[in-house]
Structure 1
Amino acid sequence: MIPQQLILRNFLSYRQAMLPFRGLHLACICGANGAGKSSLLEAIAWALWGQSRASREDDVIYYGEVEAYVDFEFTVQGQGYRVVRVRRRQQGTVLELQVQTAAGYSSLTQRSLRATQEKIIQILRLDYPTFVNSAYLRQGRADEFMAKRPSERKQLLAALLGLEQYEPLAEAARDRAREYKAQITLLEQRLSAEATQLAAQAHLQVQHQHLTARIAQQRQHLHQQQRVLQEQQAAYHAQQLRQQEYHNLVQQQHTLATTIEHLEQQCNALIQQRQAIANLLERAAELEVAACQWQNLTAQESALQQRFSDYQRLRHERDRQQAILEAQRQDLLQRLHKVDTQIHLIQEQSQHLATLIAKEPDILSALEQLQQARAQLQELEELQQQVFPLLRAKHQLETQRQQHYEHLRSRREELQQRWHHLQAQLNRQPELEQAVSVITAQIETLEKKRIYQEHLRQKGLERRQFMEQLQARQRDYERQIGHLDESLDRLGQPGAVCPLCQQPLDEEHYQQVLRRNTAEKEDLLNQVWVIREQLAVSEREIQVLRREYLAVGYEVSELTQLFEQRGYLQQQIQSTTDLGSQLTALATELEELDALLQTKTWGQESLRELEEIEAHLASLNYDEKNVAIARAQVEQWRWADAKQQELRHAKRQYRQLQQQLPPLEAQQQQLQQELATLLHDSEAAIALRALDEQLAALAYDPKAHAELQAALRTLQPQLEAYQELQRGRSRLPELDQKQQELEQTLALQRAQRDSIQHQLQQLAQSCTAMAAQAATLEHLQQQLTQQQHHLEADLAAHGKLTAELEQLTRLAKEHQQGQQHLEQLRHHFRVYSELAQGMGKNGIPAMLIETVLPHLEAETNAILGRLSNHQLHIQFITQRSRQRGSGDRKPIETLDILIADCQGTRPYESYSGGEAFRINFALRLALARLLAQRSGSDVQFLIIDEGFGTQDAQGCERLIAALNAIAPEFQCILAITHVPALKEAFQTRIEVTKGDQGSQISVIA
């Protein structure tokens, strides 16, 4: 990743700032504490990964503003990209990703914030933890890599090297292994259950044969019972026919009783009708008078009904006209209200525009000030166009001279450090030879202990073999004791025989055999107890040997490290043999460089050209502050342009409003006149007055009409009685004839009822004998049903057994196939388990880390040698032995870091702040260079935030020399510092200041 440009708006301490990275190679960001130096780099991290030092997301927004905006442009492998991240207070974050094309920037933003973030990480091939532990030496977190636990260091290094790609493969292999393991478990459970089922197959076949024979017997017995039941059913059927005849007669008797009852009811009804007609004949005169009154009232009601129709028509017409008049009135009222609203709105707008027009003198005065400020700014910008080429040329000359000077200084520093290093190595030769002698003596001692350890192991194996022999003898004795116990049990049974000759035992022989067997058992038991004591003693001896073996093994484990140290020291002794000639050559070159630097005989031509440019700049009398003041004045009076346009628009709008007001006032008066005319002289008003006159002339009385209708309803019952009287007079002869016919039919039905009663008495005795026969038949039927149920149950059991046997036959075939499939699953499980182990953290990634660590260690020591005058040395340890007493001899995987100086190896925490920073700085630079050399992550951007304050003058010079040495390997290196002496060593500086308008940036070359 190579940065190109950073734009900030309302981010942390910046209100608005822009930092171009193009052309920046090795630069420092300087300024006072709290000015906002680190915020520039925090903005880069926040734009790319959404991470910052703020505890809450809204804390990145400048105080008092509603949103923070960061726009960061960068290139990756020659392709340009742009990331824009916006945070709105209490709302959310917006993230955009764009790629540079020939036509401009094209969007790569995904559907969600998380997907876009993953796309950025995929392009960078670098996540935030990897960035801050490699390319970004963050303020207060320089020791982040060193402070991590050994296991976390190894994980972080694996992430830097891109080895996390093996973890998904290992996890996929583990998932497949777990799947096969689960399938194996399920299949083993299924095969176990199938084996249990198949074991019951022989027992089921025996049951099937027994059940087949029983079913044949039951079918024969059932056939006999069915024949007896058929004979009983034939006799019972004859009895059922007689019972059916009895039931038919009972039904006929019931039907006749119902018919007779119905005929009697009809006779009574005829008698009641004749009595009602007789009652009406007695009221004949009264009913005829009421009928006459009904006819007179009906004629009057018809005349009133005609007037009621006319009254309804006139009332409907009057309501319609009234609705028309009200609708016209509402329409006029709405139009009048609309006109009133428009007039009121125009008056308010006119008053507001008049207020703005009154400010015209102030606006014209501001416009004059703006024109003067623009003229002054134009003059200064023309002068700036003349100055900028001179400044650029001056900067290039100064850069060339400084680079030449720095190259000479760096070369001298490097030669001097090399000379001191070689001299120190030459002085350390006696010390190294003494150390080799001490280590050789330690190695000889440990070699003797290793031989003793092998002796202990052989002795332990001998004791183990002896214990196995004792255990075999113990098992043999216990088996003999078991045989004697069986013999004693047989002797205790009645009729016991001799175990040798198999003859019956008398009392004397019995006692002899018993004593002999008992004595043999006691002897064997004594032998077993002796063996157990010997086993316990041997076990204790083995425990002692094991503890001593482990103790010696822990000491011997240091032998390999001592061999390495001796070889390393011998190599150093061998390398010091030709140091004299190297020291002479270095001293000669140092003297030449010192003479060149003291006489300053380099770059005379560039110095003369630089003096000419400075003289020309002095004659132009250009000051950047005047340009800034002129720009500020232009910005101060820029509001006058907008106000002038607003004033013109206000005047034009005011004239338009004054022209619209008279027509609206005239329209208002006209609508008021139309409303007054509508209520008196409109067609609807005239029609309403005419309808009122017609209703008055009609003289219809609704109350009188209602009283007449009530009188008609009162006469209605008497009218109905008169009509019933007329019908009754004509029906009297018919009723008499019908009554005579009913009485004759009733007599015939009663005679038939008596005949049926006589027949029922004769059939009653036959139905009583049928009940006993029905009970016998029911008992037979129950026995037959029970026998059928037993047969059906046996048939069902027989079918179930047959199905189970067939299923077991199929199951046997499936069981064999399952065994074959189980072997295949076990093979797959073994394959994927080995793949998971190989792809895991202790497999291929561990091997790759072991390959990379020597390069990282060498690179770190090279940089650390420059920073510490070769006084500090770092070593990576990837494995260490387990603690004493641990049964596991496998070494522990780790990533320990050992730091050594002239006083020996010490913990990291015991070094001073300056020394700790040099160690961290060297390791961080080595990590960054390692990433730059690998194709996995294209890290061309290095950031060093603070930490220089812990260094003395000599340490700062060494840091600058180290940065110049690694500068060609990076496209951009930024160092943040507030140390005045250190920032002067950089040719390019980015100065950060903080004022009332937030932090400001200025680039000084």
Structure 2
Amino acid sequence: MIPRQLVLRNFLSYRQATLPFAGLHLACICGANGAGKSSLLEAIAWALWGQSRASREDDVIYYGEMEAQVTFEFSVQGQTYRVVRLRRREQHTVLELQIQTAVGYTSLTGRSLRATQEKIIQILGLDYATFVNSAYLRQGRADEFMAKRASERKQLLATLLGLDQYETLAEAARDRARDYKAQISVLEQRLQTLANQLAQEPHLRTQQAAVSQQIQQQRQQVQQCQQRLQAQQAAYQIHQLQQRDYEHLQQQRDTLAATIAHLEHQRQTLRQEQAAIADLEARAPLLAAAVSQWQSLKTAEAQLQQCFANYQQLRQERDRHQQSLDQQRQDLLRTLHGLESQQQFLLEQCQQLEKLLKQENQIVAAFEQLQRARAHLQAQEALQQKVFPLLQAKQRLELERQQQEQRLRSRRDELQQLWQHLHQQIERQPALQEAVTLITAQIATLEKQRIYQDHVREKGLERRRFLEQLQTRQREYERQIHQLEQRLELLNQPGAICPLCQRPLDREHYQAVRQRHIAEKEELLNQVWVIREQLAVTEREIQVLRREYLTVGYEISQLTQLFEQRGQLQQQLQSTQELEPQLDRLAREIQQIEGQLRNGHQESLGELQAIEAELARLNYDEKTLAIARGQVEKWRWAEAKEQELRQAQRQYQQIQQHLPNLIAQQEALQRQLNALETTSPLAQTLARIDQQLAALAYDPDRHAQIQAQLAALAADYEAYETLQRGRSRQPQLRQDLEHLEETLQQQQAQLQRITEKLATLEETARAASRLAADLHQQQQHLLKQQQTLEATLAHHGKLSAELEQLHRLRQEYEQGQQTLAHLRHQYRLYCELAQALGKNGIPALLIETVLPHLEAETNHILGRLSNHQLHVQFITQRSRRRSGADTKPIETLDILIADCQGTRPYESYSGGEAFRINFALRLALARLLAQRSGSDVQFLIIDEGFGTQDAQGCERLIAALNAIAPEFHCILAITHVPALKEAFQTRIEVTKVAGASQLSIIT
């Protein structure tokens, strides 16, 4: 990635800023603390990955603004891209990705924010975590890589090297292996089920034979039963005809009996009707008198009913008008009560306002006192504004004097410790020289062992090739022996022919051919035995060579460690030879610092005295300011009371104007209420309706009495009507009764004749019933026989279907066995592939090849930064803490740090030393990425960290940056150390004006 331009709008401390990267190769970003140096580079990370130091997304927006936007242009592999990220408060983030073409920028934005972010990561070839652990050394997070656990370091390094694709492939292989394993499990269960089902085949065939024999027997029984049933059916048909005659007569008898019973009921009804008419004839005079009275009462009830209807109509109209009158009365009373309540409220409010108006003189005097106190407070605050900068300047000068003295003392102590440390290293020079000589001798011995190991390996490879040749020859001889055995089998068959000329053999030629084949077979067997002996000897030789190779390999495995130890010792020896000039320089610098401590800081003393004189002239006192503020707070209540007084005066005047109107409205409403009861149209209408009701003279009691008398005479009226209808039907009743008597006699005679015929046919009916029962029993027996036969046939069909199913299952079982073998092969293949592509496979091997280069590069940079006093070593495997069955070493990525005193933990190093170690490792990582094609990182950012270094350490950091500068397109370093600004030819000055950060480029 090569940066082109950065544009910020309302991002963190920036309102508007543009940073072109053209011409920036090795530059520093400088400015005061809090000016916004780190925010400038945070904008790049936020634009590309949406990550920043803000805890909430809206915190990146400039205070008081509604949105923030960052536009970043960069190039990757010769192609220019532009990313625009916009954030609005309480809304979603907008992300756009564009690519530069011949006609301008074209959008590559995806359908969603996540899709666009994935495209950016794909173009860059690294995500945010990889960026901050390689190319971006963030403020306060320089130890990001060192602080991670060993497993996380290895994973991070794999990500930097682009080895994530192997994990993706390994996961895909594991998924395929799991799929095959699941298929194998399902298929094995299916095959086990098929095997259990196929084991039932012999038992099913035995059952099928027994059922076939049973079917023959049951068919014979059914035929015999059918013959007996046919004979019984013929006899039953004869008796069935007689049974039909008997049943027909029974139906006639039942019909006649029902007809006779109906006729007798009709005769009884007619006789009862004649008796009722006779009773009514005896009461005829009384019934006639009751009917005359009923008619007169009915006429009077009709007149009263008409009068009642008129009465109901007038009552409904009066109730409606009365309800309207009551409603108007309630409305007037409600309005009148509201006016009275309002008048009472205004009177009470007037009483309260009068109490406040009586305090007018006291409130006005207090308000004037408040104004005088505020004027005095403003004068004291103006004096404070003049004094406050002087106090700040005085405090700043005193603090600078203390800090400068503390820095000089700290620097003197640090130089004294360094002088002692270097003196001790010079004293260790003879011991280091002796150790280098001893390790060099051990390396020479192991180098000879390595040459011997190469000879052993070549010998082993030669014996392995010879072993493969023997195995090939053995397989060829065994194939020829098998062909001869087949030919001998053909010769032993009757009518054998010659295997060469394909002609029939006579006895003489048969013996000759057979002897020749036997001789060839014995010769081949002898050759096989010789090869087998050679194979055994060769395998023993290979085993011996393998043991020898492993033994020598174990001895020379320490060669790498010895090389590292010698290199470390040589570096330490070389560094001790260059320490004497440093000792002299350190002694001179210590004397100079002690002189500065004795002389003090005379230049700032005069400025302090001038500030103190000005403070004495102004005569400012904090107590006077506090008293003035207390007086303002004491009389502050008068301001509120004065406003309440003015408001009360306005309200009192308004109430006095409004009261007469309320009283006039109440008197008008009272007059309307009095008129409503007497002279209103509703009152006059109600009086007219009352007069009409009085004129109607309707009597409800008399109406009810007449209705009761009509109800009492209703029964006599109905009896009189029945008597009149009976007098007209009397002749017809006598005629109907005579006809019923004649018909009843005829029906009874016919019933007697049918009963006599049934008595003669009853024996025939009983015989038919017995035959029917026997026939039904025989039919049931036949039905059972047929059902048994059908069940047996169904069972036979079921067995046949099951055997056919077993035949298909056997084919499926054989095919499943073949499929299972294929699936197992695929499962083993993908398991091995997943293991090879996993983190302990190919990626681990690739990391093993990269780590030596990374270690060498880190030590090279660290040597320049620490004058070859520090050395790092990467350890990728360590033994397990607990001894057990599993002795396989643990995969790790531990980092060992050594100095002239030996190997120590990372935490025990000082801040300056720790920063040098982290800086060297991060530079080595960035340089390694720049050299590899996986991630084209040509942009390096260093945010702070120089403050922990002394002058010599800073010079070495600058030298290291200049050394790696040709391998990067742009390197930016953030610092606030004044001495380091001049070391960079190009500077980006960041300042803060009116709360907003601004930048300028100085070359």
TM-score of the alignment, normalized to the shorter chain, above 0.5 = yes
Instruction: State the shift of 1:220 in Å.
Output: 3.1
1:179-194 paired onto structure 2 within 5 Å: 179-194=179-194
Aligned counterpart, 1:744: 742
Map of 2:364 onto structure 1: none
1:920 and 2:922 are equivalent in the alignment: no
Provide the residue aligned with 1:388 in structure 2.
none
In 2, distance between residues paired with 1:39 and 1:25?
A: 14
* Correspondence for 2:436: 432
Conserved 8 A contact 2:876-2:891: yes
- 1:432 is displaced (CA, Å) by 3.2
| Structure 1 residue aligned with 2:285 | 285
User: Take 2:936 and 2:187, find their aligned partners in 1: how far apart are those partners?
Assistant: 44
Give the Cα separation in 2 of the matches to 1:937 and 1:252. 120
User: Could you tell me which of 22, 27, 31 is aligned with 2:30?
Assistant: 27
Q: 1:390-405 maps to which residues of 2 (within 5 A)? A: none
Rounded to whole Å, the distance in 1 between the matches of 2:275 and 2:120 is 113
* TM-score normalised by L of structure 1: 0.58
Q: Deviations over 1:148-201 (max 9, x none)?
A: 333222112223344334433332332233223322333344345445545655
- 1:6–1:169 distance in 2 versus 1, CA, 3 Å: farther
Match of 1:705 in 2: 703
Determine if contact 1:253/1:757 at 8 Å carries over to the other structure. Answer: yes
Give the drift of 1:96. Answer: 0.9
- SS at the partner of 2:33? strand
What amino acid is aligned across from residue 744 of structure 1 in structure 2? E
CA contact (8 A) 1:98 1:107 kept: no
Offset at residue 293 of structure 1 (A): 1.7
Q: Which amino acid aligns with 2:869?
A: Q
Render the CA deviation track for 1:255-298: whole Å, top value 9, x for unaligned. Answer: 44444433333333333323322332232222222211221122
Residue-by-residue CA offset, 1:225-274 (whole Å, 9 max, x unaligned):
10111111222343444445444444444444444433333333333323
Counterpart of 1:627 in structure 2 is: none
2:70 pairs with 1:73: yes
Question: Which letter maps to 1:306?
Answer: Q
| 1:337/1:213 CA distance change after superposition, 3 Å | farther
The 3-state SS of whatever aligns with 1:807 is: helix
| Pairwise CA distance, 1:923 | 2.0
| Correspondence for 2:784 | 786
Partner of 2:236: 236
Is 1:836 matched with 2:834?
yes
What's 1:562 paired with? 558
**In the alignment, is the contact (CA less than 8 A) between 1:95 and 1:116 conserved in 2?**
no
Give the direction of change, closer, same or farther, for the CA distance of 1:104–1:244 in structure 2 (3 Å limit).
same
CA gap 1:915/1:270 in 2 versus in 1, 3 angstroms: same
Residues 339-372 of structure 1: per-residue CA shift (max 9 Å, x gap) = 99xxxxxxxxxxxxxxxxxxxxxxxx9xxxxxxx
Offset of 1:796 from its aligned partner?
0.6
Letter paired with 2:838: G
| Structure 1 residues 935 and 729: CA distance shift in structure 2, 3 A | same
Which structure 2 residues correspond to residues 541-690 of structure 1 after superposition, within 5 A?
559-565=555-561
* 3-state SS, counterpart of residue 558 of structure 2: helix
Does residue 1:797 correspond to 2:792, yes or no? no
Would the alpha carbon gap of residues 58 and 832 (structure 1) be closer, same or farther in structure 2, given more than 3 Å must change? Answer: closer
For the Cα contact (< 8 Å) 1:940–1:971, is it kept in 2? yes
Residue identity opposite 2:223 in structure 1: H
Report the AA paired with residue 893 of structure 1.
E
Give the equivalent residue in structure 2 for 1:96: 93
Instruction: Provide closer, same or farther for how the CA distance between residues 550 and 745 of structure 1 changes in structure 2, counting only shifts above 3 A.
Output: farther
Bigger shift: residues 147-156 or 70-79: 70-79
In 2, Cα distance between equivalents of 1:674 and 1:165: 101
In 1, Cα distance between the equivalents of 2:858 and 2:761?
Answer: 129
1:748: how far off? 3.6
2:719 to 696, 701, 721: 721
State yes or no: 1:218 paired with 2:218: yes
Q: Are the counterparts in 2 of residues 322 and 688 from structure 1 also a CA contact under 8 Å?
A: yes
Q: Map 1:834-873 onto structure 2 (within 5 A).
A: 835-873=833-871
Q: Please give the per-residue CA displacement for 1:763-793, whole angstroms capped at 9, x wherever unaligned.
A: 4444444565455444433432232122112
Letter in 1 for 2:180: Y
- Give the residue type in structure 2 aligned to 1:170: A
Letter in 2 for 1:789: Q
Distance 1:179 1:928, change over 3 A: same
| Distance of 2:917 and 2:939 partners within structure 1 | 21
Distance 2:961 2:670 in 1: 96
Worse-matched range after superposition: 67-76 or 870-879: 67-76
Which of residues 727, 731, 735 in structure 1 aligns to 2:733?
A: 735
- Residue 695 of structure 1 and its aligned partner are, at CA, apart by 4.4
Contact 2:30 2:989 in 1 (8 A): yes
Q: CA deviation at 1:843?
A: 4.1
Amino acid at match of 1:96: T
In 2, are the aligned partners of 1:76 and 1:938 still within 8 Å (CA)? Answer: no
Residue 268 in structure 1 maps to residue 268 in structure 2: yes
Amino acid at match of 1:875: Q
Distance 1:558 1:913, change over 3 A: farther
> How big is the alpha-carbon RMSD for the aligned residues of Structure 1 and Structure 2?
6.9
The one-letter amino acid paired with 2:216 is: A
CA distance in structure 1 between the aligned counterparts of 2:437 and 2:337, rounded to whole angstroms: 115
* Amino acid in structure 2 at the alignment position of 1:174: R
Asked if the contact 2:8/2:17 (under 8 Å) is kept, the reply is: yes
Q: Distance in 1 between matches of 2:260 and 2:786?
A: 52
CA–CA distance in 2 between the matches of 1:982 and 1:339? 88
Pairing partner for 1:82 from 73, 76, 85: 85
Query: What SS does the aligned partner of 1:30 have?
Result: coil
Give me the TM-score of the superposition, normalised by structure 2. 0.58
105 and 20 in structure 1: CA distance in 2 versus 1, 3 angstrom threshold: farther
Question: Counterpart of 2:190 in structure 1: which amino acid?
Answer: R
The whole-number CA distance in structure 2 between the counterparts of 1:571 and 1:866 is 15
Distance across 2 between alignment mates of 1:67 and 1:274: 117
Which structure 2 residue ranges, 5 or more long, are not aligned? 20-26, 75-80, 341-370, 372-424, 458-542, 586-649
Residue of structure 2 equivalent to 1:382? none
- CA distance, structure 1, for counterparts of residue 138 and residue 790 of structure 2: 89
Q: Deviations over 1:527-584 (max 9, x none)?
A: xxxxxxxxxxxxxxxxxxx9xx99999997654443334556889999999x99x99x
Q: Which residue of 2 aligns with 1:900?
A: 898
Q: How far is 1:795 from its partner?
A: 0.9
Give yes or no for contact 1:928–1:942 (8 Å, CA) kept in 2: no
**What residue in structure 2 maps to residue 943 of structure 1?**
943
Relative to structure 1, the CA distance from residue 169 to residue 702 in structure 2 (aligned partners, 3 Å threshold; closer, same or farther) is farther
Is the deviation greater in 287-296 or in 100-109? 100-109
The CA deviation string for residues 480-521 of structure 1, in whole angstroms up to 9 with x for no partner, is xxxxxxxxxxxxxxxxxxxxxxxxxxxxxxxxxxxxxxxxxx
Return closer, same or farther for 1:100/1:451 CA change in 2, 3 Å cut-off.
closer
Write out per-residue CA displacement over residues 819-875 of structure 1, whole angstroms, 9 at most, x where no aligned residue.
Answer: 555565456545644553454323443344345434433442233223311211223
Whole-angstrom distance in 2 between the partners of 1:755 and 1:1001: 135
Work out the CA distance in 1 between the residues paired with 2:329 and 2:927.
92
Q: Which amino acid aligns with 2:735?
A: Q
The farther-off stretch of 916-925 and 424-433 is: 424-433
State whether residues 61 and 67 of structure 1, in contact with CA within 8 Å, keep that contact through their aligned partners in structure 2: no
> Does the residue aligned with 1:81 lie in a helix, a strand or coil?
strand
Within 2, Cα distance between the matches of 1:66 and 1:297? 104
- In structure 2, relative to structure 1, the CA distance for the partners of 1:449 and 1:330 (3 Å cut) is farther
**In the alignment, is residue 159 of structure 1 matched against residue 156 of structure 2?**
no
**What is the CA–CA distance in structure 1 between the aligned matches of 2:924 and 2:845, rounded to whole Å?**
20
Percent identity, please: 51
Give the equivalent residue in structure 1 for 2:874.
876
Unaligned runs of 5+ in 1: 10-16, 87-92, 341-364, 366-420, 454-545, 592-653, 994-998
CA distance in 2, matches of 1:717, 1:945: 126
